[in-house]
Structure 1
């Protein structure tokens, strides 16, 4: 009781002394000033963001996308006008730069002129992101720039969603086109499958026809061999015919010369007979000349007879050669006709192959693009064109062979007539020879008798006239025969040249047919491979048609709606479940600023309340300890209650439990007060400096603002050693989390701090008397 009386006397003395009472009253508001004013200033800074001036510049020129005008910059401005996040001021670029320089604006947001243009490159091979230029005026206020950065990120998200909505609308429109295209592709694939079936049938027919073509070319090649042999025989006969006709022409030329001489002799004979008739005086001389002439005639007729025999023999050879030539030309005509018929079939087959391959290429663009298919198509066209040319050449050859056969038949008829005429000529020459011999005998008889001369001369004159007429006619026929022989020789030469060319053509024909045979075999093999490919194409096209139909059905099931477009534009939505929600900045910082205010309030109390003295003279050490401790404890109670009530009912701080909040506030204040009391009691003025240093370390290590993990590692060492760490955590528990076990545990830790330092204060009072305190004070004054 005596200890309480000392406290009451000290309290009464303080209340009666305005110099002590007023400072004590002011000190009570120190925690309120620290915690209340700080928290009020930052209670909800985002609630007044609409008063923070921000410049917005729109330089976007817009762009065309899928035939529609995209104005992302204007859309951004419209979105900003709907929100009150900042005090938006839509200005020019120049005004924004000037406002940043004179600190009119805390930040500027600039939409470049290519903002919409770059937004349309999303689906390009190298898309370019649309940029929003953010220019914070950090020198003017750093936190404003940080807050603006967060706001710009939110703006970016909204603009990105708008741009994505435009792309999504375009993509869903494309889905409709894709579904239609897939349906058409499915129909096309069905037609491809039908065409593949037809091509498969055509490939079978093509393979069969190519086998027939191969067989036909083999037969044609076999038929060309006798044709080649016949043409060779024809060429040999033509050579023999050329030799015979040349010999015949030479014989006829010689016969013509001999006939001219004979004609002259006959003319002379006629003249002599006339002269004989005119005068017997010249009979002897005439008979001599007649004998010489008749002898010459005999010799001439002998030569003429030899010539006619040569003509007969030549005509026989000519007729035999022409007969062989006619047979050869008939065989040639038959062979060429058979070859032409085979070529017609080959040409038709080659055309069918080329047309089939052309239809196949037109029905299947991928197959048409294949190099092997292009080579096969070109080869089939070349074979068709070559067979066409071969057919035309064979038709021309057939016409030439027909004309040759006809000409040789006519030539054979002429040779037959020549043979008949040469036989008649030979008979006439024989008669002429006999006549010449008789003439010679007559001339001899003329020499024998003059009486018979007149009769003989008359007969001679008559015979001479007939002979002259016959010789004239014979000469005409002989000239015609000579001209015919010359033409026959020329024809033989032409025939030999033609048969040589024909033989060369037949050789080329055989080589060409061999090539065609080889090509037809390769085509037949290719047709087999084509048949296999057609089977695969048929199967694949059926499967393609089925898959395309399924894809079209599934794609057409995608229906565009506003909710679906918004889902694509913003596929992720943040559903926030706050754990231990803190409604505003003031509530979040209350543990930190309240702890700071209570610590500062306790420190200021040491300036207005005596630390060691008592108004009671002669009070014991223990009574002074109790009086000073109760004084500081009472100040602690008043400070904590005043600060708590101002926060609860002045600022509207919401806590989980008000009584526990008041209790923890008092425990914190009392613990800080006892800690500072002990330090200042022991050290006096230096003790206050130590308390300030402790306060500074607590401000940086108590994790009241930033998380503990973000401070330097060497500072983390002080976190568990200082009491403010536990006061901040305890206030968070009772205000925000409601974890009362943490609060009570931290309250116990603070109580331990207070009791330990209270023990230090007790030790001071129990070890120091008033005289020692006076000496210490004098020493401190002298030191100062």
Structure 2
């Protein structure tokens, strides 16, 4: 008997029994119900988030920031009112707590009263972040609380952007102020640079003049040394002059006294001349005495002439020395203005001039005295010669008596004049001695002053050298200041130009608050939750449908008693193939036309669904055919392992390592991967590759089923057992 005849007879027998056909019809819709119900319920759960009630409590009292009112909590509430991410319920704290307790809200978001004030602490030494209080009702629904946590993170980003906008506006305001300040600073720095250049030029002049000062002080120091030596010599000469003047005054006093005696003698000689006529004897004696007196007078007049000549020479030297001292002091006063202001120096210069003038007057008087002394000496010589002739020529005495009387009269008159001049010379000598004493004292003071002047000049020279060195350092510093101030002005101007280009605008503030926009390019885009989980739930529904099919379709028996094992194998294989075909068509149609699943290839989607269902059907058929109910238990155990290891929900990398071992060994791994290629990625090569693995699983387990029937060639019973029904 042919195997197809056995199949159709078994099929006809099933349709004659309502208890058999009805369960079969129900089982055909198991994959549709399983995958369809799951996917319909979770097709796009995020699309109805606006129906999820969430309580929002705003307790923010606001704050002031940089003169502006900051109402971050109020702005957040306005933002939430604009979107429908959740069913926002803006309530009080008491209403929110009561609603959470009564499971009216899935979560609660509280905006604290210090939310805005803490948002203004960014520039404080210890900034405090603003906090949102998120209270999920995890006991009410854990998944809703997890979704709410993600939403709160998004809210946090929006609020942060708003706060950043406020910060950015303030920052740009400050940048504009800084730009103006930098411009003013640049102008000020330019002024500083110009002043530094002028100051640098002044420092250069100061350095040059200080160099001249150093040179002048060196010359002054060199000139003070001879001056100091000259002052010492002057002091010594003044002392010698004082001694000579004192001697001169004493000699002139003695000479004046001798002149009076000479004058008296001349008077007596005149009287004797008058008596000469009366007695030659008396005249002869008088002539002898006269001769002796004239001899003494001649010697005295010679000494007087010598002393007067020496005095005249000393007076000339004193006058020249005093004149040189006065000129030296005047030159010194001209060379040193500070010294010229010293009143002692002025007195000294005046005294030197007075000494010079007095010395000149003394010299003039002495010149006259020398002339008179010379005449006196000549007269004495003549008298001495006359007295000799008088002694020798007594006979001529009478004749010359009258001449003698006349000469004696002239002598008396000359002696009177000589006495008057000698008295004046004595007075001048005393004045000269007094001036010489003053000159000596002034010379000593001059010597001390010149010594102090020398020390001061040395100090000035040392200080001027240090000042010149400091002026050099000042010049170097001013060069650096001029260069640095110029660079500062340039940099400040550049900074002002750069910052002046920063203009605050709403677009610029928004850019700083949200500097990054994400441009999303999805690869193998999955439009919704249901599309992403379709490979998993389709595979799961087809596997469950195949498992339940073994409960309503006989796996071993046949309604044809004469059927061989091969006939029964073919009949059962065709029956389960038909079940798979109908289940796969119904499931694919539901996904495509009811749930509007978008796939990369509709024919391939139908074919892959049928191949997957047929693979699962042959696997479960073999297990149940060989083991009956224990085989179903193994199928359920396989289903459990596949639920976790097929990577249909969480990625394979996230499951425990010991479970990863089962991933390549179970067929749902390949059905899920193939569905992803057919539905989303369009990688048909991957789909055909997985299809080949599924075909290998199906053929291998179909062969196991065939081996079972070939080993049991005894005819099947004429009717199905109760368990198989």
Q: TM-score, normalised by structure 2?
A: 0.71
Residue in 1 that maps onto 2:560? 616
Q: Any conservation in 1 of the 2:50–2:85 contact (CA below 8 Å)?
A: yes
**How far is the alpha carbon of 1:578 from its aligned partner?**
1.5
- 1:320-331 counterparts in 2 under 5 A? 330=326
Structure 2 stretches of 5 or more lacking a match? 251-310, 366-430
Task: Measure the CA separation in 2 of the matches of 1:412 and 1:576.
Answer: 117
1:691 counterpart = 2:635: yes
Q: Any conservation in 2 of the 1:234–1:324 contact (CA below 8 Å)?
A: no
Residue in 2 that maps onto 1:73? 73
Q: Any conservation in 1 of the 2:43–2:528 contact (CA below 8 Å)?
A: yes
Q: Any conservation in 2 of the 1:233–1:328 contact (CA below 8 Å)?
A: no
Comparing 589-598 with 493-502, which one deviates more in the overlay?
493-502
- 1:685-724 counterparts in 2 under 5 A? 685-724=629-668
Q: Any conservation in 1 of the 2:30–2:544 contact (CA below 8 Å)?
A: yes
Q: Any conservation in 2 of the 1:172–1:560 contact (CA below 8 Å)?
A: yes
Comparing 542-551 with 634-643, which one deviates more in the overlay?
542-551
Structure 1 stretches of 5 or more lacking a match? 252-314, 342-390, 421-483
1:513 counterpart = 2:513: no
**How far is the alpha carbon of 1:220 from its aligned partner?**
2.2
**How far is the alpha carbon of 1:13 from its aligned partner?**
3.2
SS in 1 for 2:88: strand
Correspondent of 1:338 among 331, 334, 337: 334
Q: Any conservation in 1 of the 2:63–2:69 contact (CA below 8 Å)?
A: yes
Change (3 A) 1:772 1:40: closer
SS in 2 for 1:229: helix
- CA RMSD in angstroms, aligned pairs only: 4.9
Task: Measure the CA separation in 1 of the matches of 2:63 and 2:538.
Answer: 56
Task: Measure the CA separation in 2 of the matches of 1:523 and 1:408.
Answer: 42
**How far is the alpha carbon of 1:211 from its aligned partner?**
2.5
Residue in 2 that maps onto 1:83? 83
**How far is the alpha carbon of 1:231 from its aligned partner?**
4.6
SS in 2 for 1:505: helix
SS in 2 for 1:12: helix
Q: Any conservation in 1 of the 2:224–2:450 contact (CA below 8 Å)?
A: no
Comparing 201-210 with 581-590, which one deviates more in the overlay?
201-210
- 1:439-454 counterparts in 2 under 5 A? none
Residue in 2 that maps onto 1:209? 209
Q: Any conservation in 1 of the 2:334–2:340 contact (CA below 8 Å)?
A: no
Change (3 A) 1:520 1:244: farther
Task: Measure the CA separation in 1 of the matches of 2:122 and 2:440.
Answer: 88
Change (3 A) 1:324 1:146: farther
Residue in 1 that maps onto 2:396? none
Residue in 2 that maps onto 1:6? 6
1:16 counterpart = 2:16: yes
* Number of matched pairs: 611
Change (3 A) 1:126 1:225: farther
Q: Any conservation in 1 of the 2:136–2:145 contact (CA below 8 Å)?
A: yes
Task: Measure the CA separation in 2 of the matches of 1:10 and 1:721.
Answer: 35
Task: Measure the CA separation in 1 of the matches of 2:241 and 2:31.
Answer: 150
- 1:143-542 counterparts in 2 under 5 A? 143-232=143-232, 330=326, 333-341=329-337, 391=338, 394=339, 396-397=341-342, 399-406=343-350, 502-503=449-450, 505-523=452-470, 525-526=472-473, 529=476, 534=479
Residue in 2 that maps onto 1:607? 551
Comparing 137-146 with 674-683, which one deviates more in the overlay?
137-146
**How far is the alpha carbon of 1:585 from its aligned partner?**
0.6
Task: Measure the CA separation in 1 of the matches of 2:441 and 2:142.
Answer: 117
Comparing 579-588 with 9-18, which one deviates more in the overlay?
9-18
Correspondent of 1:738 among 653, 659, 682: 682
Comparing 580-589 with 656-665, which one deviates more in the overlay?
656-665
Comparing 58-67 with 124-133, which one deviates more in the overlay?
124-133
Comparing 106-115 with 596-605, which one deviates more in the overlay?
106-115
Post-superposition CA distance 1:552-591 (Å, at most 9, x none): 4454344444333333332321111222221111111111
Change (3 A) 1:152 1:247: farther
**How far is the alpha carbon of 1:189 from its aligned partner?**
4.7
Task: Measure the CA separation in 2 of the matches of 1:493 and 1:204.
Answer: 48
SS in 1 for 2:455: helix
Task: Measure the CA separation in 2 of the matches of 1:404 and 1:99.
Answer: 118
Change (3 A) 1:234 1:98: farther
Correspondent of 2:625 among 681, 685, 702: 681
SS in 1 for 2:571: helix
Q: Any conservation in 2 of the 1:238–1:499 contact (CA below 8 Å)?
A: no
Post-superposition CA distance 1:313-333 (Å, at most 9, x none): xx99x9999979966873574
Correspondent of 1:586 among 518, 521, 530: 530
Q: Any conservation in 2 of the 1:138–1:144 contact (CA below 8 Å)?
A: yes
Q: Any conservation in 2 of the 1:213–1:520 contact (CA below 8 Å)?
A: no
Change (3 A) 1:338 1:524: farther
1:647 counterpart = 2:591: yes
Task: Measure the CA separation in 2 of the matches of 1:206 and 1:417.
Answer: 52
Task: Measure the CA separation in 2 of the matches of 1:491 and 1:90.
Answer: 118
Q: Any conservation in 2 of the 1:701–1:711 contact (CA below 8 Å)?
A: yes
SS in 1 for 2:336: helix
Change (3 A) 1:213 1:676: same
Change (3 A) 1:108 1:245: farther
**How far is the alpha carbon of 1:675 from its aligned partner?**
0.9
Post-superposition CA distance 1:382-423 (Å, at most 9, x none): xxxxxxxxx4xx3542x2321344467779999999999xxx
Residue in 2 that maps onto 1:299? none
Residue in 2 that maps onto 1:565? 509
1:659 counterpart = 2:606: no
Q: Any conservation in 2 of the 1:227–1:331 contact (CA below 8 Å)?
A: no
**How far is the alpha carbon of 1:70 from its aligned partner?**
3.1
Change (3 A) 1:47 1:510: same
**How far is the alpha carbon of 1:692 from its aligned partner?**
0.6
Comparing 714-723 with 582-591, which one deviates more in the overlay?
714-723
Q: Any conservation in 1 of the 2:561–2:715 contact (CA below 8 Å)?
A: no
**How far is the alpha carbon of 1:699 from its aligned partner?**
0.8
Post-superposition CA distance 1:204-229 (Å, at most 9, x none): 43333223222222222233224433
Post-superposition CA distance 1:106-143 (Å, at most 9, x none): 33434455544554455678766544444444444332
SS in 2 for 1:682: helix
Change (3 A) 1:104 1:247: farther
Change (3 A) 1:410 1:558: same
Q: Any conservation in 2 of the 1:242–1:496 contact (CA below 8 Å)?
A: no
Change (3 A) 1:69 1:504: farther
Comparing 653-662 with 330-339, which one deviates more in the overlay?
330-339
Change (3 A) 1:214 1:60: farther
Q: Any conservation in 2 of the 1:80–1:88 contact (CA below 8 Å)?
A: yes
SS in 1 for 2:523: coil
**How far is the alpha carbon of 1:695 from its aligned partner?**
0.4
Change (3 A) 1:115 1:183: same
**How far is the alpha carbon of 1:720 from its aligned partner?**
1.7
